[in-house]
Amino acid sequence: MMTKDQYIESLRKLNLNLWMFGKKIDNPVDDPVIRPSLNSFAATYALAEDPQYEDLMTATSHLSGKKINRFTNIHQSTDDLIKKVKMQRLLGQKTAACFQRCVGMDAMNALYSSTYELDEACGTSYHQNFLKFLTRVQDEDLAVDGAMTDVKGDRGLAPSKQADPDLFLHVVERTADGVYVTGAKAHQTGYINSHEVLVMPTISMRPGDEDYAISFAVPTDSEGITLIYGRQSCDTRKLEEYNSIDVGNQTYGGHEVLVIFDRVFVPNDRIFLNGEVQFAGMIVERFAGFHRQSYGGCKVGVGDVLIGATAEAVDMAGCAKASHVKDKLIEMTHLNETLYACGIACSSQGAPTKSGAYLIDLLLANVCKQNVTRFPYDIARLAQDLAGGLMVTQPSEADYRNPATHDYIEKYLKGIASVPTEDRMRILRLIENMTMGTAAVGYLPESMHGAGSPQAQRIMISRQSNMAAKRKLARVIAHVDAE
């Protein structure tokens, strides 16, 4: 496995075509806006080096028998599924941000079982292609970005019916050696910090959409790929002279990029789906299930930090003993642990696929993510309620460091006498960051839209609820049926 330092140095070898704020970024590793997201990603390597976290952060490869980073593992049991969620909670606690490596892990697990069943049905060799890719990822401990979400254009039209055919990524040319693809993938979490991008279709496909039913892996710096960095709230605070307090979370963060593929070549042995429209839906459904499970871990870990920060804030203000304050902290904890319970539940009820790899209980995974679209917002609302307005009205750190205004801020922003004013300011800025600033991107909007917006889960819950069986139970109890 790679160490944290080896991982960071490996990123320096990438030649990404990256643009941010209208400028070309030649060194994303050391860019002050991007570096916090790299630090979060690097934590997945750092914790794997720590013996106290070895059981959660590493696994044994079923391919090689070697110890590997759990983020490159193919789940072989419900124990693997449960440890995945526990690992994600741990990383959320350590970073209070999106650590970005989950999407690639979930994409690899979805494609492992899907390509196995695809080959069985169609006589193709995609699973062998994928095994070759996976072996390299595990052996070299590579970081993989999972790319599913197309920009979609007119949501009422199928991919092949769009006015602009590039609004869904698709094959534009086929050769004896491979294919060329064009299109874009949006909301790409952690792409800049990854070595490989694993592309999947974004929706179920129908006959006529064959060119859009494509899955493959290529290096993130492949020729023809352009990256445009996503804007985040309060992002330029990282560029200010005094930003230790005002950024809220100085060390860690996340990022999203728009990834444009302009005639990118994909060799045949890196293709995992190529026109088999009937299997696009399986890949989408399994990836979505795995990623909805993930949110029962990562968002809970971040929630732990937010709850802790809120408890600190009320204590610093001298109101921790108030009954309504205690009750709101209890409610925040209740909501957070409910999310965790869903993540553990869908994992414990997982079952093997035909490939032998384990899949979570899809119904419970969708219930997990449906709760994630709501509960973090309630947790954040209660955090803001208890933190008070000073969270967003306190003066800047520059004013705090200014001799002309420092003493006023030190005097008038004081809470209880035993707590330094600066400590109180830091906690309040952390809450602001997690509920409104750069970290909020990975906590609130990502809770809503990551792994599919709320309606996507409701559709899957409807499909998997087995309503006919429930109706039969009621009819039997009520003696409506003969039996």
Supply the residues annotated as catalytic. 98, 102, 189, 256, 291, 295, 298, 446
Q: What are phi and psi of 432, to 5 degrees?
A: -60, -45
Q: Which residues of 275-298 are buried (b: 16+ CB within 10 A; e: fewer)?
A: bbbebbbbbbbbbbbbbbbbbbbb
- The tokens describing 185, both together, are 């993938």
Rounded Cα–Cα distance for residues 238 and 245 (Å):
10
Q: Which residues contact 347 (CB under 8 A, 6 or more apart)?
A: 78, 81, 82, 84, 85, 293, 360
Smallest CA-to-CA distance from 91 within 305, 287, 248, 290 is with: 305
Q: Which residues contact 198 (CB under 8 A, 6 or more apart)?
A: 104, 107, 108, 111, 144, 145, 146, 147, 215, 216, 217
SS3 222: coil
H or E stretch at 5? helix 4-11
Rounded Cα–Cα distance for residues 318 and 184 (Å):
51
Rounded Cα–Cα distance for residues 105 and 84 (Å):
10
- The tokens describing 36, both together, are 């916090």
Rounded Cα–Cα distance for residues 410 and 414 (Å):
6
Strand partners, 150: 185
Query: Within 10 Å of residue 311's Cβ, how many Cβ atoms?
Result: 19
Asked if residue 145 lies in contact with residue 103, where contact means CB atoms within 8 angstroms, the answer is yes
Query: Within 10 Å of residue 101's Cβ, how many Cβ atoms?
Result: 29
Asked if residue 135 lies in contact with residue 327, where contact means CB atoms within 8 angstroms, the answer is no
